[in-house]
Structure 1
Amino acid sequence: MSGESDLRKLLTGMRPELNAGCYVFTTVDDGVVPVGVTPVVTVAEREGLTLVVPQREADAAGLAYAYVAGWITLRVHSALEAVGLTAAVARELADAGLSCNVIAGFHHDHLFVPYERAAEAVALLEDLARGSA
């Protein structure tokens, strides 16, 4: 099942969806995910295992974090080799002063933006989709 690679189709069909809850980025040095923590993303780095987890789970496990994010899923099935979607989305959000951490899954792109501005980010992306038609 291949994803879409045409930038215009990706932008017009992205259908940003805000997932419920607050998410945080944290790390564990030993690579062991604590009991009771279910990451939505993991990234293995030389310095440790990065986890993106629900904030309530990080708090319960005593994990340190500094950035609380809202999680937006772009519902379009983007091809991993597609060119320009990440750049267009990041530019739109950057122009509004929003940080954006992008993680590509096999089927969808996932954006982590400041939690308190997540709804605004979704509205900006919806406007970008409409303007790309």
Structure 2
Amino acid sequence: MAGERDLDRLLRGMAPRRAPGTYVFATVPGDEVPAGLTPFATVREDEGLTLVLRREDADAAGLPHDFPAARITLLVRSDLAAVGLTAAVSTALADAGISCNVLAGYHHDHLLVPLGDADRALALLEGLAA
């Protein structure tokens, strides 16, 4: 199921939405998600498995974590081969001094921004889409 590739339509249709909660990054050795955890995303690296999960889940599991973040989902259905959306969004956030970690899912792009910058990031993205 192909998504949108036209950058202008992608930007206009972003419809950024903030997910409830605070997300953090944690890491565990090996490549298995610890029992009882359901991370939002995982990344396998040589050093171990990176988990992106809700802070309360990391705390409950006793996992050290870093980068308390808000998760903003771009609701536009972007094609995985679309060119420019990540660059446009990350450039706009960088120009405003907002750090951003981007995760591409099959259906949507997800941005993890510092918790204290979440409202400003959301407003900036809504302005970019206007």
TM-score normalised by length of structure 2: 0.97
Runs of 4+ in structure 1 off by over 2 angstroms are none
Is there any run of 5+ residues in structure 2 with no aligned partner, and where? none
How far the C-alpha of 1:36 sits from its partner, in A, is 2.8
1:104 & 1:30 partners in 2: Cα distance?
23
Tell me, in whole angstroms, the C-alpha distance in 1 between the residues paired with 2:120 and 2:10: 20
- Match of residue 95 from structure 2: 95
| Match of residue 6 from structure 2 | 6
- What is the aligned length? 130
The answer for the alignment partner of 2:116 in structure 1 is 116
Q: How does 1:20-99 map to 2 (within 5 A)?
A: 20-99=20-99
Shift of 1:84: 0.3
The aligned residue for residue 125 of structure 1 is 125
CA contact (8 A) 1:36 1:57 kept: no
In 2: Cα distance, 1:107 partner to 1:12 partner: 17
Give percent identity, aligned residues only: 59
SS at match of 2:99: coil
Cα deviation, 1:17-66, whole Å, max 9, x if unaligned, reads 00000000111112232233210001111110110000000001111112
Distance in 1 between the 2:4 and 2:31 partners? 34
C-alpha separation in 1, matches of 2:21 and 2:4: 28
Q: SS in structure 1 opposite 2:111?
A: strand
Equivalent position of 1:19 in the other structure: 19
- Output the amino acid matched with 1:73: T
Q: Displacement of 1:119 after TM fit?
A: 1.5
Contact kept, 8 Å, 1:3 with 1:79, in 2: the verdict is yes
Q: Secondary structure at the match of 1:69?
A: strand
